[in-house]
Amino acid sequence: MPIARINGTCLGYDEYGTGEPVVMVTGTGAPGRMWRTHQVPALTAAGHRVITLDNRGIPPSDPCPEGFTLADMVADVAGLIEHLGEGACRIVGYSLGAIAVQELLLARPDLVHQAVLMATSGRTDALTAAMTAADLELSDAGGKLPPRFAAYVQALQNLSPRTLNDEERLRDWLAVFEMSAVDMTGVRGQLGLQLVPDRLAAYRNITRRCLVIGFQDDLVVRPHLSREVARSIPGSLYTEIPGCGHYGYLERPAEVNSAITGFFAGRHP
């Protein structure tokens, strides 16, 4: 994995394929490899060079135990694009990563050609505030949930009823969650960054073409929050993927990938 020193921080990233670049920015606690199973193959098959990033706080990128801000994450993405030397890129952001991309669209529109914003929001609602407070409290207490309990909670939060009611699929998901349970203390720096002021009015100044993707059964970022973002960005498109929760890019990858590649190719979802 290449390591780039950007803004005084070492950031890990990976590159796949050739062609016009697509930079992919993950959500809270997620490594860049989360894109490898479904999105990277689809995008490389569509003729894109894909760059996935491990945000600061996620190994092998620097942990930054002193803390950091959303603006730091935005500067990291901008610095990586400049480091690649490709000029304006297409960019995909998911959850917290999408919020960072929205701020990048305002701060450095020269670095972005088109953007896909998945499971995103432009303000903090009551449920997001409560969820974040709980995560911060658990982290600051040094707590680590037992793997089976953590897997159960993760399934309820992030999967759709369609998946929860499919016992064979659910068992597979629970096994993955149990093996990959995240220690919240390890991502402490990212917790709370999604607590943003209402930025919807500011998004009216975004000038790049955007596709906003909501997930119908998302309990973490309810789709009405993503629709608000789409309504705020001039000329943006919105599509909602049915039968999936917050992990919609993994639950319904074919539909998500079709929306992304179609948008980049000039087709409306």
**pLDDT for 187-215, tens place per residue?**
777 888 888 999 999 999 999 999 999 99
Q: Residues near 66 by Cβ (< 8 Å), separated by ≥ 6? A: none
Q: What is the mean pLDDT of residues 204-231?
A: 98
Q: What is the spatial distance between Cα 159 and Cα 139, in angstroms, rounded to a whole number?
A: 23
Q: How many CB atoms lie within 10 A of CB 205?
A: 12
Are β-strands 89-94 and 48-53 bridged in parallel, bridged antiparallel, or unpaired? unpaired
Q: How many CB atoms lie within 10 A of CB 130?
A: 10
Mean pLDDT of the chain: 92
Mean pLDDT of 236-265: 97
Give me the mean pLDDT over the 159-173 stretch. Answer: 96
Domains of the chain listed by start with CATH number: 3-144+183-264 (3.40.50.1820)
- Per-residue pLDDT at 267: 79
Instruction: Tell me if 245 sits within 8 A of 218, measured CB to CB.
Output: yes
Q: What percent of the chain has pLDDT over 70?
A: 97
* pLDDT value of position 183: 55
Report percent pLDDT > 90 for the chain: 75
Largest CA distance in the chain: 49
Nearest CA-CA partner of 244 in 231, 228, 265, 226: 226
pLDDT single digits (tens) 67-104: 889 999 999 999 999 999 888 999 999 999 999 999 99
The residues that are catalytic are: 95, 218, 246
How are beta strands 3-6 and 9-16 bridged, if at all? Answer: antiparallel
* Predicted pLDDT at 124: 95
Mean pLDDT computed over 44-63: 92
- Interior CA angle at 187 toward 23 and 194, to 5°? 65
- The token duo for 74 is 């935005």
What pLDDT is stored for residue 184 in this prediction?
Answer: 57
